[in-house]
Amino acid sequence: MGFIEAIFGASATVIKRIRTAQQLVRNYIAGLVDEVLQERVAENQPASNPTPVTVNIQIDIKNIGIEETDLEKKWSRDGSLKQSDIEKLEELKKQREDKFEQWQKAKTQEVVTEQATNPDTYETSFLNNDKVHILQFQMGQVVLEKRCVCGRPMILQHRNRADGSIFLLSDFFWSCVGYYNNQCRGTQSFQTQDIGLMHKANILELQLSNTELSQSFTRPLIQKTVVRLRQHLREEDKDILCPIHHVPMVLREKDKSNHSNIVLDMFYLQCPHFQCKQIVKLKSLAQIAAFLHRKEERGIL
Ligand SMILES: [Zn+2]
Ligand SMILES: [Zn+2]
């Protein structure tokens, strides 16, 4: 798709081949409308007010999960399932994947329409090693318009730095969602040259450099942040979906015995599906800011 590398579900877009500061959001928007909306119109989809579509599909996906859980609990309790139930489980998984495909199309249209109709509320940041937090702000989100060679969507990951050194842009990569089902181990490296991210302009944390962001996170602010995060425990984050079940993950706090009382080691999102072990750790300031921003329209600052 031309110069769009990926679109994040919470409305940010990775743009490639951005070389000059003159290539501003407005120009980009015009291209975006051409590339994506025309494509959708050709598919005879309504171009306005798509929000209810994604909401309704999410409800369908949840209901599929509930039906599936009944059978999974039966399986776990009895140690076996009759053939017709096993077939039913397979059918439900297939239904969910179909629904998720529909959701991705509707969501792409929703995001693009939002960006195209409100261009003044967006700005583009050029990514470099002191802007990695802008990318970290998007971690865990469903990625649209970014496909693995196998056809599945990909999500943004970064390699871990066990020594605690700061992240570089080259630490990031795309990973196939099929990885979580043991179906595909596809990865793609994250392009680090001429790359921009168009994001909402009203996010304070994204106006700072990565270093400035860490420096502004003072002790009193940390305490306030923990209090605010705790108010959202057990709540869904509608932009972070389980890569297997495609339902919103839920905020949890680690057991007290299990964390070192450092805010970056205390909170995570977990899939609410029966026995699902998928989690997304909130292990950077940018991720915590993003979570709070999605919940309260205000980050950590
Ligand atoms: Zn794949
Ligand atoms: Zn799950």
Domain coordinates in residue numbering, the chain: 207-296
**Ligand 1 centre from 178 Cα, in Å?**
5
| Distances from the Cα of 162 to the Cα of 71, 165, 166, 214, angstroms | 40, 8, 10, 18
Asked which of 120-134, 223-237, 264-278 is least confident by mean pLDDT, the reply is 120-134
Query: Which one is predicted more confidently, 138 or 260?
Result: 138
**Ligand 1 centre from 189 Cα, in Å?**
14
Q: What share of the chain is helix, strand, coil (3-state, %, to 5)?
A: 45, 20, 35
CA 184 to centroid of chain Cα atoms: 19
Protein residues within 5 Å, CB atom, of ion ligand 2: 242, 244-245, 271, 273, 276, 278
Query: Which one is predicted more confidently, 1 or 73?
Result: 73
Average pLDDT of the segment spanning 155-172: 86
Task: Note the pLDDT of residue 50.
Answer: 47
Query: Which one is predicted more confidently, 170 or 37?
Result: 170
**Ligand 2 centre from 245 Cα, in Å?**
4
Task: Note the pLDDT of residue 257.
Answer: 79
Ligand closest to the CA atom of residue 93: 2
Residue 182's Cβ-count burial label (10 Å; 0-12, 13-18, 19+) is exposed
Average pLDDT of the segment spanning 96-103: 95
Task: Note the pLDDT of residue 54.
Answer: 92
Residue 139 has pLDDT above 60, yes or no: yes
**Ligand 2 centre from 151 Cα, in Å?**
20
**Ligand 2 centre from 249 Cα, in Å?**
8
Residue 228 has pLDDT above 50, yes or no: yes
Average pLDDT of the segment spanning 48-72: 88
Ligand closest to the CA atom of residue 271: 2
Other beta carbons within 10 angstroms of residue 44's beta carbon come to: 6
**Ligand 1 centre from 88 Cα, in Å?**
25
Ligand closest to the CA atom of residue 178: 1
Ligand closest to the CA atom of residue 241: 2
**Ligand 1 centre from 10 Cα, in Å?**
23
- Work out the mean pLDDT of the chain and round it to a whole number: 88
- Helix (H) or strand (E) segment spanning residue 41: helix 38-42
248-282 confidence digits (pLDDT tens): 999 999 988 777 778 888 999 999 999 999 999 99
Asked which of 49-58, 60-69, 87-96, 116-125 is least confident by mean pLDDT, the reply is 49-58
Q: What percent of the chain clears pLDDT 90, i.e. is strictly above it? A: 62
Task: Note the pLDDT of residue 32.
Answer: 67
**Ligand 2 centre from 181 Cα, in Å?**
10
**Ligand 2 centre from 262 Cα, in Å?**
26
> For every residue of 272-290, which 3-state class applies, written as one string?
CCCCCCCEEECCCHHHHHH
**Both tokens of residue 203?**
């996010």
Residue 33 has pLDDT above 80, yes or no: no
Ligand closest to the CA atom of residue 179: 1
Ligand closest to the CA atom of residue 187: 1
Task: Note the pLDDT of residue 288.
Answer: 96
Ligand closest to the CA atom of residue 147: 1
